[in-house]
């Protein structure tokens, strides 16, 4: 396992580093790739990882599911997937198919062989639908479709176990990261959600780092309960901030209070929103030092 990243991270390094003053507060970079873009032009994707590594450690995250190549979608019994948080509809492959999982492994092997030396952490995002969080299924918006195609908890659990095992094998020498959310699943033809089932999987897999992608000023009792259960696993934590835009339903609010929560929970690092360079520089510098005393 690589050394765990500490400090503030950017999710858009090519723009963030145009601002040298703010860029100096960043300890590492998240490089997010869409599988379809990686398939279409792997050279460009590899180049983006190598460029990010020039500025610091890299956390690699690949989005599949609705962002898979057209050929992968078409080969895996696609269905209309309704994204609950946005209300949009996408064509999604059945990510639990063995063929899909094999293709994911082949793609990951290519990444490892071509840019592995430039990567410090890798997110286990296999089995994701629209996003990189592997437990999000929008079951309430898709319950009839899921029942029709035979997608239930047992099928989902088998697939996620397979994704985790292959990622642990391929990236054995790297820090393996898993985003935690309440597991949205189908059981007895009904949509359900459970943070406890997610935690059970996390404790079974034992990834090197786990995180929540919803850091904000006012988390609410339910979200705090989720974070408490994550912390109780004893696995190191990270957070990604919620949306910075106040016009979005769920957004970060007062960013200083959000980052205080990260410190309270002992998070090693924070993925900042892409607009962090609008924040007060001196205040952000204090937080950068609090999360990573080695920051310049």
Q: What is the pLDDT of residues 251-273, one digit of tens each?
A: 899 999 999 999 999 999 999 98
Closest to 276 in 3D by CA, of 15, 6, 63: 15
Cβ atoms of residues 2 and 262 within 8 Å = no
Long-range contacts of 19-22 (CB under 8 A, 24+ apart): 19/277, 21/281, 22/276, 22/277, 22/281, 22/284
What are the structural domain ranges in the chain? 7-63+96-135+150-291
Length of the chain, in residues = 296
Strand 79-82 with 7-10, pairing? unpaired
Model pLDDT, residue 228: 98
Confidence of residue 197 (pLDDT cuts 50, 70, 90): very high
- Residue 157's region, left for phi above 0, alpha for psi from -120 to 50, else beta, is alpha
**Section 10-34 average pLDDT:** 80
Q: Write phi, then psi, for 102 (nearest 5 degrees).
A: -65, -40
Question: Would you say residue 244 has pLDDT above 80?
Answer: no
Structure tokens at 287: 């937080």
Higher pLDDT, 292 or 261: 261
Higher pLDDT, 13 or 231: 231
pLDDT tens profile 49-85: 999 998 889 999 999 999 999 999 999 999 999 987 6
Model pLDDT, residue 22: 87
Model pLDDT, residue 18: 56
Confidence of residue 23 (pLDDT cuts 50, 70, 90): confident
**CATH number of this structure's domain 7-63+96-135+150-291, picked from the four choices 3.30.70.560, 3.20.20.80, 3.40.50.300, 3.30.70.2190:** 3.20.20.80
Report the mean per-residue pLDDT for the chain: 93
Residue 269 DSSP SS3: strand
Q: Model's pTM, two decimal places? A: 0.94
Confidence of residue 3 (pLDDT cuts 50, 70, 90): confident
Tell me which range, 14-23, 86-95, 172-181, is most confidently predicted by mean pLDDT.
Answer: 172-181
Q: Using CA atoms, how far apart are residues 256 and 141, in angstroms rounded to an integer?
A: 34
């Amino acid at each position: 396992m690589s050394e765990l990243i500490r400090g503030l991270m950017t999710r858009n390094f090519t723009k963030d580093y145009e601002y040298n003053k703010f860029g100096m507060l960043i300890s590492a970079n998240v490089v997010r790739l869409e599988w379809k873009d990686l398939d279409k032009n792997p050279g460009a994707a590899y180049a983006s990882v190598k460029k990010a590594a020039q500025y610091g450690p890299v956390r690699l995250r690949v989005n599949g599911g609705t962002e898979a190549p057209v050929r992968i979608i078409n080969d895996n019994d696609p269905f209309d997937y309704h994204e609950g948080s946005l209300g949009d509809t996408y064509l999604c492959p059945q990510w639990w198919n063995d063929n899909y999982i094999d293709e994911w492994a082949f793609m990951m092997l290519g990444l490892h062989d071509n840019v592995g030396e430039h990567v410090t952490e890798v997110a286990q995002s296999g089995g994701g639908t629209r996003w990189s969080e592997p437990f999000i299924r929008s079951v309430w918006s898709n319950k009839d479709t899921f029942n029709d195609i035979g997608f239930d908890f047992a099928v989902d659990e088998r697939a996620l176990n397979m994704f985790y095992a292959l990622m642990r094998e391929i990236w054995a020498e790297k820090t393996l990261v898993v985003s935690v959310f309440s597991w949205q699943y189908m059981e007895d033809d009904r949509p359900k959600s459970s943070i406890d089932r997610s935690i059970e999987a996390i404790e079974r897999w034992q990834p090197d780092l786990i995180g929540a992608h919803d850091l904000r000023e006012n988390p609410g009792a339910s979200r705090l309960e989720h974070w408490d259960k994550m912390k109780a696993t004893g696995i190191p934590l990270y957070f990604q901030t919620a949306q910075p835009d106040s016009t979005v339903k769920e957004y970060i609010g007062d960013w200083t209070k959000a980052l205080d929560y990260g410190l309270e929970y002992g998070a090693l690092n924070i993925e900042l929103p892409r607009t962090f360079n609008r924040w007060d520089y001196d205040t952000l510098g204090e937080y950068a030092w609090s999360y990573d005393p080695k920051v310049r």
